[in-house]
Amino acid sequence: MENLEIGQQLSTYYKNKKVFVTGHTGFKGSWLTATLHSLGAVVKGYALAPDYENGLYDLLQPYKTGESVIADIRDKQKLVAEISAFQPDYLFHLAAQPLVKRSYEIPAETFDVNVTGTANVLEAVKGLPGKCAVIVITTDKVYENKEKDILYNEQDVLGGYDPYSASKACAELVVSAFRNSFFNTAEYDKHLKALASVRAGNVIGGGDYSRDRIVPDIVRALQKQQIIPVRNPHAVRPWQHVLEPIGGYLLLGGLLNGAPLQFSKAYNFGPLPNDHLTVKDLVQKAIGVWGSGSWEDMSQPDQVHEAGLLKLDITRSRTELGWQPQWDAAQAIQQTINWYKQDAGKRAEFTFQQIKAYFAR
């Protein structure tokens, strides 16, 4: 398929295929379902109702991107029934408590959703009679962060300082246990299930209005002509547009379906090694694209711990999957801010324009 553009290649994997997405009402889940819809997939989503209004999920409703089940992944009986009724060819598990700061407020619930929820999803998959390729989305924060200028690869030790990061590292252990115990590649012909996990950097893009995330904080302040509050201006992150990891997830899913023994493992998705920015850089570039604005360092000596330095090694994804970042951090910021600059009534259409442009290569 080397001569196909990436969008055409992905269509060969997903057109008319049944794809189950947990967490489809969230920021990344909404972009994933929109992309799958554009590829011709038959999508069924399962998630809680979105926790903010006028986000991408709400904007996409007129496009009927797929069936939507509003429920909790901790409701095991409901989850099993919905997955079993759908009999998916692919399953992407994104449902999670995704915020570091929030995890300090609800630590036990964060572990319950992110660890037990993942086990519930995989147990439901275990009960399917047919073939299914499963991608579990965790985070770049699963690694034991030494706060050094190094690139973490998929073989590095898992860890997690805060409840969110630790819960996602635990989810990786759940994936490993299910792969070894129930979806072992040595017995693939018996169970027909292929399982991979994916660890992406800090994603940005249109339609995100979550609290305690830097881009929504930037946009809210700029729209109100207020000073942007910045908690950790010198923290370094692997910023990337949301379509970068989604393209990686979909590519991996298709390859995993075709060669389960080869791709049933973990993969990092992030920017190139020389393309990591500080929060301050991100804010200043966003202000430049917006055309006005200012920011203020709101760091507090007693604020909760968040990693100051985090970089990913994406060698495995580049060499084994043929995946490559397409937009550098500056382009990702420009694409993101341009989305928020659109009139509210045009943002859903603009989303599909960005999807089309990204995958037409």
Q: What is the pLDDT of residues 189-222, one digit of tens each?
A: 999 999 999 999 889 999 998 887 899 999 999 9
Give the predicted TM-score (pTM) of the model: 0.95
Average pLDDT, the chain: 94
pLDDT of residue 2: 44
If you average pLDDT over residues 224-238, what whole number do you get? 90
pLDDT at residue 235, rounded to an integer? 87
Residue 254 has pLDDT above 80, yes or no: yes
For the domain covering 6-204+240-274+313-329+347-359, report its CATH number. Answer: 3.40.50.720
pLDDT at 1 over 70: no
Handedness of CA 333, 354, 25, 88 (dihedral sign): negative
Beta bridge partners of 49: none
Q: Is the pLDDT of residue 356 over 90?
A: yes
Cα distances (angstroms) measured from residue 67 to each of 37, 127, 214, 254: 11, 21, 31, 22
Does residue 361 register a pLDDT over 80? no
Burial 217-232, CB ≥16 within 10 A → b, else e = bbbebbeeeeebebbb
227 phi and psi, to 5 degrees?
A: -70, 135
Q: Is the pLDDT of residue 85 over 60?
A: yes
Count the Cβ atoms, other than its own, within 10 Å of residue 341: 16
